[in-house]
Structure 1
């Protein structure tokens, strides 16, 4: 009896120690500065690596308040030269937790230049929490981006695209909505997105032990003997020689026609098929599937790569370009480029087993889209008040409503509030006080007739005659930005109209009523470019 009593006492002491140690751990993680009178948690260098995870920050359909404090000098410097994308030290507060000395900068590519050349300061931002303080994170999150909804009057394209990808099992960033406050003032209603970096890799793959490559414009994955593949930027890892990447690209291009070859040794094929299927169904051509060949990551572990999707603000009919994108054949799912110049699509879909799996993912996506209109209506109820209150929005509320509504009349005619220039994806012509167009209206898309040059080393299939147009709404100071702004009308097609028409067309293809090949948009179309940095 006495032994039992002793054992119970020992067990009780052990249990108490467990709770005590757990409490100490929690205190270390959430250690507060006692001098802080606001009651907020101030996270310091030694207490920032949380063990509980940060998924709750991205609770479905929620809206975060994110407060950014940056010195007036640094803020003015950022706005004066946004193209520098120079990190400034700032503090960030979210969910009552404040992190000091984080990296804060503008982000983007052609979209960044478009905003910089306008009268709007509504930039997208990248926040790197461990930029200046090694190991600093927010509940384990080390980096995130704040996307400005460029070219998306619906505010939903990227959010719903990641949701669809998640449904079919893809490894994609977490995302939700956020009101952004800068130096105490509401700056705008943004999309809050987990960056593809160490914390994403740890969450998705369990550990960070591989090499992560960001695929920049022109990343077609065609094999080029002796190439250093400069469009593949090493973001995480130490394989600066890109040995594994080069081996993967070589094996991909050497697949025997209609056969697997050794591809499964160097590629998680399912990750590629999911990515291609989502781009096909959602009409995401600011991607590997379009003439820009960009906006995706490759993560290699032990020489085997996974495709990680990225940047969907121009999906669901928002990319522009020629032809009816709702009718693109599913077995040649590209826009503005020959499918044979995109081996990740052409070679994989030539294998019958892979094509069947790809069709399976397409069917899964169609299942998700069965209630698309209900989902959009549900989401609109949540975000509408925030969109309306957004002080820097690019679009009017009429444009928001038109973009999330179905119309029997084609969207081009339905949006009566949109000017003829906006219907073509062009900015409104600036007018003088008499209402006459100024001389600046001679500049098509504000590039004064000078289209951007194609990327250096652009492979065959991206001929000079098929240079990408500047993004819809990209201009030289002529955009109507700021409160109630009406510029940047890329993506003016209603997401409801696009999905209804696209789903109907794909169902006809799958049933055999329409062919799954015979793409007429290959190498004859131009499009824009998203926030791909």
Structure 2
């Protein structure tokens, strides 16, 4: 690779014995020691594979935890995503940037080029970890962050996995950081209130627990990007310690903008305009919130979710990483497909806009 190129070069070094241990069982989360060199800086790290089904892919994704020093550029941990099933390799970043543009908290991300023990591993997306440093970096009040780790994070009393009553309202979540000992109680109280506040009191009571405007913006983000799993998975909860209100942060948005989790083309009407999960359904059942949601959709469709706004961003990202795709051993043989993604995303935006315009009347 050209060392003067404009994509950051990440050089990962793992001792052969440790690399053998890492590869021995891809499902083990136990990290191994390694070294990472970025811009001439030598960093001692712990590294493990990340993700669930993506671990089976030829190109692995990694979780990096800084060991010495404990932080690098303000982060204790970062994620290196292979974006293996996304032919464009930009959908995750495009989505996070889009969420930020419409006023939703979202991780920062950037493309990098990774080598492992001197061998090219290719283009990766570095994603900011959603943890206490995520909060600190944005000068937000201290608070708790809970990851939605499976389909039980559906804001319901019923499991999305086995369709039975949940044995615990903590199911589906993993605490990433907390500002008090009561973080688990606050989560359970949220789920309980969502499901038990009477309809006549819901409009008045739910804003005591949820930042409704931010939640509806997050729903809008899912609707525009078409993340099918977004409502019951692929997110983190942030409880603002100052206001006591929960906000939602998107996570894992590669299956978006017209392609599904397997990289296959997805119909533009696949994700319904009203979405799905218990909290969304209850909010949209309230006239005031439903009108607020419709206004949000119309506002974003006039400003950010347009070809005029999005396509220059898409084109810039694709142009930036294309030279490096040619050096990616997992992607270079599919450059024709990569080059076709500009049209795939453009067509998706137009078709999705057409679908949403037709369905806006459902929100009257």
Normalised TM-score (structure 2): 0.86
Give the Å deviation of 1:326.
1.8
Give the Å deviation of 1:85.
2.6
Partner of 1:300: 239
Give the Å deviation of 1:267.
1.2
In the alignment, the residues of structure 2 paired with residue 140 and residue 324 of structure 1 have an alpha-carbon distance, to the nearest angstrom, of 37
Q: Which has the larger radius of gyration?
A: 1
Structure 2, unaligned runs of 5 or more: 1-5, 158-164
In the alignment, the residues of structure 1 paired with residue 183 and residue 99 of structure 2 have an alpha-carbon distance, to the nearest angstrom, of 32
Match of 1:128 among 41, 44, 65: 65
Determine whether 1:98 maps to 2:39.
no
Partner of 1:152: 86
Match of 1:266 among 200, 203, 209: 209
Partner of 2:140: 206
Instruction: Say how many residue pairs are matched.
Output: 343
CA pair 324-188 structure 1, distance change in 2 beyond 3 A: closer
Match of 1:229 among 156, 163, 170: 170
CA pair 149-323 structure 1, distance change in 2 beyond 3 A: closer
Residues 332-388 of structure 1: CA deviation (Å, up to 9, x unaligned): 22xxxxx4xx11210112222322332233234322232233332232221111112
Determine whether 1:66 maps to 2:5.
no
Determine whether 1:319 maps to 2:260.
yes
- Kindly indicate which of the two structures has a greater share of residues assigned to strand: 2
Partner of 2:113: 179
RMSD value, Cα: 2.6
In the alignment, the residues of structure 2 paired with residue 199 and residue 395 of structure 1 have an alpha-carbon distance, to the nearest angstrom, of 38
In the alignment, the residues of structure 2 paired with residue 283 and residue 390 of structure 1 have an alpha-carbon distance, to the nearest angstrom, of 28
CA pair 380-330 structure 1, distance change in 2 beyond 3 A: same
Determine whether 1:354 maps to 2:289.
yes
In the alignment, the residues of structure 1 paired with residue 292 and residue 333 of structure 2 have an alpha-carbon distance, to the nearest angstrom, of 40
Question: Counterpart of 1:508 in 2: which secondary structure?
Answer: helix
Determine whether 1:287 maps to 2:230.
yes
Give the Å deviation of 1:205.
4.9
* Higher deviation after alignment, 168-177 or 233-242: 233-242
Match of 2:31 among 72, 87, 94: 87
Structure 1, unaligned runs of 5 or more: 1-61, 334-338, 406-493, 518-533
In the alignment, the residues of structure 2 paired with residue 104 and residue 326 of structure 1 have an alpha-carbon distance, to the nearest angstrom, of 38
Partner of 1:165: 99
In the alignment, the residues of structure 2 paired with residue 241 and residue 324 of structure 1 have an alpha-carbon distance, to the nearest angstrom, of 38
Match of 1:343 among 262, 273, 278: 278
Residues 414-448 of structure 1: CA deviation (Å, up to 9, x unaligned): xxxxxxxxxxxxxxxxxxxxxxxxxxxxxxxxxxx
In the alignment, the residues of structure 2 paired with residue 392 and residue 325 of structure 1 have an alpha-carbon distance, to the nearest angstrom, of 27
CA pair 297-388 structure 1, distance change in 2 beyond 3 A: same
Partner of 1:246: 188
In the alignment, the residues of structure 1 paired with residue 149 and residue 235 of structure 2 have an alpha-carbon distance, to the nearest angstrom, of 8
CA pair 124-108 structure 1, distance change in 2 beyond 3 A: same
Partner of 1:111: 54
In the alignment, the residues of structure 1 paired with residue 86 and residue 155 of structure 2 have an alpha-carbon distance, to the nearest angstrom, of 29
